[in-house]
Structure 1
């Protein structure tokens, strides 16, 4: 449709207006546009909206501004509220609770919980060596947990008075350090503390496997090598405690 100055004059003569609504695609001649400008008539494309519709649009814009995005997903999605099936992996970034890193956090959290129960159970033994070693590994577990959650390097580690390299050496050579062989033939005849420690040693292995699933990619790329090394030593350091228990350093129970 072409809108000319003549048509506008006829419309304006019938009814003076300050706003003209035209269909999209309407063409105005230069003189028609000048006519509108001279009289301050606003030109609007499309169907005129009611006052209620205009008010609703304004309310929607205000509401949209009021909405604050609290979380985001690892794929760029955003969330106003945290879905029940998701949790924070770091900062305000959400992942599903079956994410491999979250599964690992659950494992290391469980290991810590089980270790605390074990420590409480043998608290009454009053054995200074046992209490000291239980506390040393408790700190080791906690350090791994905090390092992963905060995304910080594990740093130097000492547990039972050994660094990580020494732990490997001692656990592989029981004859040299404890004057006895490996506990390959462990049975229910062993002292209770040895059996309890063995139970935690097997669970630490499950925790290590969970960490491998979380930090080793299909292409072989490795993340958090420090944590993987520490968790590999975790079962070894518990095994050292088992050897100590087997040679009577923790008394009998």
Structure 2
């Protein structure tokens, strides 16, 4: 029989006796021996006289007492310094303290490791989903879990301090009153909350399990706790994850959702080029209004001619602009035989040229053909509400049957604009965008 510290404490606390009797041949682990010495408890093997727990004696696997020199040799052997290896069913708690692997503290450490794995996996998934800022914030929790392990192993105290800028009391209050802080009541989780909320709840459940194992490891039968600092930290970590998921659910009620406009190939003409293509004094004829106020699709179309091929019936958009700009997809560039140049609208210097063929003439452009960078149009009021500014770059997630994440999306703000994400046909097709598909700004 192996007498571990945990078993010894559990039995001794029932009687608080100065003598404890154990079966012949029992193994007393080093940590259990330390406990006997600290409490001045005498050991008696069944059928033998009382043995004092003297410092100079060390128990062997058979329960016999060794001399001081023999005890030191046994300690060295348990630490791998002699030829006799440590039993595989035992491990070291701290230093040379040999205990069973089923010891509550070892079980707790394993649960804390498992939580760390789950947390890193969640961070990895967040990064893949474009939630890099949130993933980085959770690194604070990962670091605190590592500090927790070190504090326990080295028997050092650990202070709570703050997490995410909140004290232990603040986290507790927020977790008890989400309606007060986030405007949402205590409600069951739902698949409609999304996978991030589900992940946060999973981490919350896991850290609560770690807390349960900690209570088993550090709380005695009489209710006394040797590590209340660890218990407090674990409890507030559980509350923190609940606060974070409530915060996320609250934010989702005010999602930054936008419709998607698919920008097919088109061109904007200067007045000079319009007249060269369609005749002197020519004016564009409006075919239909576009989603952006003041913009329209014209009746007029042209043919684009490149080194490798032509594209006919390319729509002209109005009104006229100071400079001519041709907007095509990467696939169109391959067909025309020109170099794809990804640019923000208006940034046409140094771009590829193409020939324009109209009803009355042709125009040979030496530059002006671009692949328009994905961008968002926002009304100034909407931008203010969402705390966005003109020229900012954001990440958006397209909510479709084939969800896609688009990064480095330019935000363009004007009181003349209507909120909309603009993608070209290649991007829209890749994400299976349909007329009713929406996107969400997920990172600023």
* Shorter-chain TM band: 0.5 to 0.7
Any gaps of 5 or more consecutive residues in structure 2?
1-69, 256-440
1:202 Cα deviation after fit = 0.9
Show the 5 A alignment for 1:90-169.
Answer: 90-127=94-131, 129-169=133-173
State how 1:175-214 maps to structure 2 within 5 Å.
Answer: 175-182=179-186, 184-214=187-217
Distance 1:143 1:229, change over 3 A: same
Instruction: Work out the CA distance in 1 between the residues paired with 2:126 and 2:112.
Output: 21
Cα 1:200–1:156, aligned 2, differ >3 Å: closer, same or farther? Answer: closer
Structure 1 residues 67 and 137: alpha-carbon distance in aligned structure 2, compared to 1, 3 A threshold: closer
Corresponding residue for residue 70 of structure 1: 76
Alpha carbons 2:90, 2:98 under 8 Å: kept: yes
Q: Which residue of 1 aligns with 2:219?
A: 216
2:224 is aligned with 1:238: no
Cα distance change, pair 118–175 in 1 and its aligned pair in 2 (3 A): same
Q: Secondary structure at the match of 1:247?
A: helix
Q: 1:104-138: per-residue Cα shift (whole Å, max 9, x none)?
A: 00001111111111111111233354124311211
Distance 1:161 1:66, change over 3 A: closer
The 1:65–1:205 alpha-carbon spacing in structure 2 relative to 1, beyond 3 Å, is: closer
Shift of 1:213: 0.5
Contact 1:137 1:159 in 2 (8 A): yes
Question: TM-score, normalization: structure 1?
Answer: 0.66
Greater helix proportion: 1
SS at match of 2:75: coil
Work out whether residues 85 and 97 of structure 1, in 8 Å CA contact, stay in contact via their aligned partners in 2: yes
Large movers: runs of 4+ above 4 Å: 64-68, 249-253
The equivalent residue for 2:174 is: 170
Q: How far apart are 1:66 and its partner, in Å?
A: 11
Q: Distance in 1 between matches of 2:87 and 2:171?
A: 43
> How far, CA to CA, are the matches of 1:129 and 1:117 in structure 2?
15
Normalization by structure 2: what TM-score?
0.39
Gaps of 5+ in 1: 1-63, 74-78
- Count of residue pairs brought into register by the alignment: 185
Q: Distance in 2 between matches of 1:100 and 1:159?
A: 27
Deviations 1:144-172 (A, max 9, x none): 12211111101243211112121111211
Moved more, 99-108 or 185-194: 185-194
Structure 1 match to 2:369: none
User: Is the contact between residue 108 and residue 141 of structure 1 (CA under 8 Å) also seen in structure 2?
Assistant: yes
Q: What is the rounded CA distance, in whole Å, between the counterparts of 1:176 and 1:132 in structure 2?
A: 27
The one of 226, 231, 254 aligned to 1:228 = 231
SS in 1 for 2:138: helix
